[in-house]
Amino acid sequence: MKLVFFGPPGSGKGTQAKLLAKELNILHLSTGDILRDKLSEGDSLSKKLKEVMASGNLVSDDILNQIIADKLMSKECINGYILDGYPRTVLQSDFFLSFVKSNNLNLDVIFNFRINFKLVEERIILRSKQEQRSDDNIDVIKTRLDKYNQETYPVSQFFSENFSQNFFTIDASQEVSKIQKELINIIKKGQK
Ligand code: AMP
């Protein structure tokens, strides 16, 4: 089972991806988590990454594409995966789709988490207190939401038009358990 999750930061897609990956016994492939793991390495790349991520800007497409190409071909993805936080730009999307095509990795379902940005701001402020992420504060969230609108929203639109049979928009303001049930129901029903 191969899934892609779209949605702005704070839409709860990471929480849902974690739960669903466990349920389906597939890999939760969060590029944000992979990058955060790299920050502890302390080398010059990690210092650069820290700066970019703390400001709410996006890390370079080349770095992300390389990470994803390595992961998708690894044993960890043998049962499938949930992509959470990638592709986030048109260049990443182009790379990903040609990679998928040339390796016959057809996508099964794409979920698009839709949520009001005011609610996102409230959630992120709450999360900043719980998880102490350096990019979870009100100054940075504006940049992250702007990046989503400028770079990622067009990618999700492209997927909705080109994979309309497998593309499902989810009301992300609902309770965690309700959303999870909705995702599982859609997957069980198969394609439209
Ligand atoms: P996330 O946990 O998905 O919100 O990601 C946290 C931060 O990691 C983002 O604000 C970006 O700086 C960086 N990041 C994660 N995924 C990507 C991506 N696909 N492309 C560029 N930057 C990314």
Query: Residue 75 has what pLDDT?
Result: 95
Nearest-angstrom CA–CA distance, 175 and 180: 9
Q: Which of 58, 115, 131, 149 to mutate to test the pocket of ligand 1 (most atoms within 8 A of CB)?
A: 58
Residue 145 dihedral angles phi and psi, to the nearest 5°: -70, -40
168 - beta bridge partners? 111
Q: Residue-wise pLDDT tens for the chain (192 aa)?
A: 999 999 999 999 999 999 999 999 999 999 999 999 999 888 988 999 999 999 999 999 999 999 999 999 999 999 999 999 999 999 999 999 999 999 888 899 999 999 999 989 888 888 777 877 667 778 888 899 999 999 999 999 999 999 999 999 999 999 999 999 999 999 998 754
Query: Atom 8 (ligand 1): residue with closest C-alpha?
Result: 32
> 3-state SS of the chain: helix, strand, coil percent to 5?
60, 10, 25
User: Ligand 1 pocket, 39 CB below 6 A?
Assistant: no
189 CA distance to ligand 1 middle (Å):
31
Name the closest-CA residue to atom 6, ligand 1.
32
Q: Is the CB of 12 under 6 A from ligand 1?
A: no
The residues, ordered by sequence, that sit 6+ positions from 3 with a Cβ below 8 Å of its Cβ are 20, 26, 80, 81, 82, 83, 107, 108, 109, 110, 111
- CA distances 7 to 50, 103, 125, 142, 192, Å, are 23, 26, 18, 15, 21
Burial (0-12, 13-18, 19+ Cβ within 10 Å), 54? middle
pLDDT value at residue 113: 98
Q: Give the helix ranges, DSSP H, for 26-89.
A: 31-39, 44-55, 61-72
